[in-house]
Amino acid sequence: MEIERLQHRFEEIYGGGGQIRFFFSPGRANLIGEHIDYYGGHALPFALTQGIYSAVRLRSDQTVQVSSENIEANRVRGFRLDAEPPVRGIGGCLGHLRCVVQAFQDRGCHLHSGMDILYAGDLPIGGGLASSSAFDILTSVMISDLFGFHDRGGRSDAVRISQEAELLRGGTDCDLVDPSACILGRQGHAIFLSAPSLQYEYVPLRLKDTRLIITNTMVQHPGKWDHYLTRRTECEKALKKLKVVSNINQLCDLSIDTFNNCKDVIMNETYMKRARHVVSENARTIRAVSALRVGNLRRFGELMNQSHDSLRDDYEVSCPELDALVCQAREVPGVLGSRMMGGGFGGCTISLVESAAADAYMEKLSESYQKQFGIAPEFYFAEAGDGARELK
């Protein structure tokens, strides 16, 4: 996105003059390690080159005004910094902003003046590419830099601020993988992330003659949050049973062999399947990192396939649209691996495709998916970029 265009739109909305500053946060894609961060597992996300931008200018009063090109059609809304804290469940661009501001204020950080803000971006909203986390991280970095909160846990603790804002907004605990990828991204690298400690190391993405292609189902099935909470409850019940026979704190403390030796103690087929996904996905993620380090992309693709099968059959967070895209992808010569990505019940798949097969991949999936569901999927070439930052 051209900064000049963003500045022009900002001045159309708020008028010219003053110092306008520009910030960016990427979205994220997750190569492998899905639905296990809340069980002490590992993930392998990377920051995308697509993301959300902001243009901002400080005001001389306590009013914050916000507008978004992607949400609410450039409608300007606002609030005062000295107003009552936001209630839970507040939505939209304004709701996200208010909750991040409140997270700073709850930490004792005083915002001495209001702001005029314009958000824009090239990241699909609701497509499973962490647009919500990108927005929160962008806003956190922007506020930290504008008001000098670096020594108050601002930019350095943006992930926790994002989590606190999510709690204010919806009252539920959020994962840490998405905001971590948005803030920690490094060009050409994935992030081997351990939750919940947030310890990480960078893994070079040497893709040689292959491409990562994200395919958007263009659907989101309702009720997914209830399904997520149900699965977490089921995993907690499995963990409680396993603790009787093993010295563990989290499901991901178990190796696959140890799990297989003691899984019968769970005595519930559904709970066992949920726990099996968690334990096996954690092991797959560790193996995937080893495969990347030695450049074994074919092995990496096999692990991606196994990940999807586990998410579909054991954790059961896939859906017909995701399964169809993955099945169709695996039939295309030159596709090394394909899996659903993100929360599930819609959203996107990510596929590792030989560069020479990229056109055939998109042509086949577009044709077969439209024929089956009457929807045209969207395709994005995914590259690893840098994390949230100010744009000079």
Tokens of 278: 């968690």
pLDDT, position 70: 77
Which residues make Cβ contacts (< 8 Å) with residue 12, sequence separation at least 6? none
How many whole angstroms separate alpha carbon 168 and alpha carbon 88? 6
- The answer to whether the pTM exceeds 0.85 is yes
pLDDT, position 144: 93
Task: Output the CA–CA distances (angstroms, integers) from residue 117 to 53, 68, 139, 319, 355, in the order listed.
Answer: 10, 8, 10, 37, 40
175 close to 196: Cβ distance less than 8 angstroms? no
DSSP states of 320-370: HHHHHHHHHHHTSTTEEEEEEESS-SEEEEEEEEEGGGHHHHHHHHHHHHH
Helix H or strand E segment including 293: helix 269-293
Which residues are identified as catalytic? 178
143 close to 111: Cβ distance less than 8 angstroms? yes
Tokens of 112: 């001495």
Of 311, 47, 359, whose CA–CA distance to 213 is shortest?
359
Length of the chain equals 392
340 close to 318: Cβ distance less than 8 angstroms? yes
**Residue-level pLDDT, tens digit, the chain, 392 residues:** 688 999 999 999 999 999 999 999 999 999 999 999 989 999 999 999 999 999 999 999 999 999 998 776 668 989 999 887 765 656 678 888 999 999 999 989 999 999 999 999 988 776 778 888 999 999 999 999 999 987 655 566 888 888 888 888 765 556 788 999 999 999 999 999 998 788 999 999 999 999 999 999 999 888 788 898 999 999 999 999 999 999 999 999 999 999 999 999 999 999 999 999 999 999 999 999 999 999 999 999 999 999 999 999 999 999 999 999 999 999 999 999 999 998 899 999 999 999 999 999 999 999 999 999 999 999 999 999 999 999 98
Domain annotation for the chain: domains and CATH numbers: 3-205+386-391 (3.30.230.10), 210-382 (3.30.70.890)
161 close to 140: Cβ distance less than 8 angstroms? yes
How many whole angstroms separate alpha carbon 29 and alpha carbon 6? 25
| Tens-place pLDDT, residues 78-87 | 999 988 776 5
How many whole angstroms separate alpha carbon 95 and alpha carbon 116? 15
pLDDT, position 90: 60
